[in-house]
Structure 1
Amino acid sequence: MFSSVTALFKPPLCAASLQEEAEAIGWYEQRLSVESDREAKAVMEEAQEEEFKHFAMALEFLSRRKPKWRAVLQAVLFKSGDIVEHGEMGEEAEKKA
């Protein structure tokens, strides 16, 4: 564990945090799929929502520092229509960034 908060917000460490948050989201998803207790499920859903927030913040932090990432994300995320087509447009945007 790092003692310096500022050390956590360097791009390489933040990329590791992004991966850890994604893994945590997946772990909660697995647990939620087999949990039958409503109250336990509610607690886990709340915890998973926190992981989504952490993932989003780390992704935004990195996208602000990595123009190619940002170009791809802007081409793909929050768009209606064909996801694969948007991904292809993201590849083109990355080349131009």
Structure 2
Amino acid sequence: MGFDQYHEPPEELSAQTRTFARMCANLTEEAEAIGWYEQRISVEPDPASRAIMYNSLGEEFKHFSMELEYLFRAKPVWRETARGILFQDGDIVANGEASEAAVDSGTAPADAPQAGAMDAMDTSLGIGSLKGPTL
């Protein structure tokens, strides 16, 4: 079975890189699903059906956000760059250029995470165990 998500031979990639590639693929799929739901909602005439689709869209937003957070934790420089762009007022492109320049010059915010190995970071999404209570 082949996987198009790899651009290099998978057996030559570390487990960490393969996991990162999987999460990137998941993020892409969630973004596609968000686009599909937006299109379907915009043309659906039945209010009950539209409400169900809108509810499903909210799940896709959640999944996309969780996957993006995982990737930010895996690549702190990505988070540093995003901090200067996301949730900022003003011109998006100008914010992007300024953020990239700050990261490149080493003047990113002092509270930005430092680059480090993914396996040394806490990848918990803060949702607790899905196994249930331990006895």
TM-score scaled to structure 1, two decimals? 0.83
Per-residue displacement from partner, 1:31-86 (whole Å, max 9, x unpaired)?
11111111111000000110000000000000011122111211100111221211
> Structure 2 matches for 1:1-97, cutoff 5 A?
10-96=19-105
Partner Cα separation in structure 1 for residue 94 and residue 23 of structure 2: 29
Structure 2 stretches lacking a partner, 5+ long: 1-17, 107-135
Q: Calculate percent identity across the aligned residue pairs.
A: 51
Larger mean Cα displacement after TM superposition, 24-33 or 83-92? 83-92
Partner Cα separation in structure 2 for residue 63 and residue 96 of structure 1: 20
CA contact (8 A) 1:69 1:94 kept: no
TM-score scaled to structure 2, two decimals? 0.61
Q: Which has the larger radius of gyration?
A: 2
Larger mean Cα displacement after TM superposition, 64-73 or 85-94? 85-94
Cα root mean square deviation, aligned: 1.9
Structure 1 stretches lacking a partner, 5+ long: 1-8
Partner Cα separation in structure 2 for residue 90 and residue 33 of structure 1: 35
**SS state at 1:10 partner:** helix
Q: Looking at secondary structure, tell me which structure has more helix per residue.
A: 1
Q: May I ask how many residue pairs the two structures share in their alignment?
A: 90
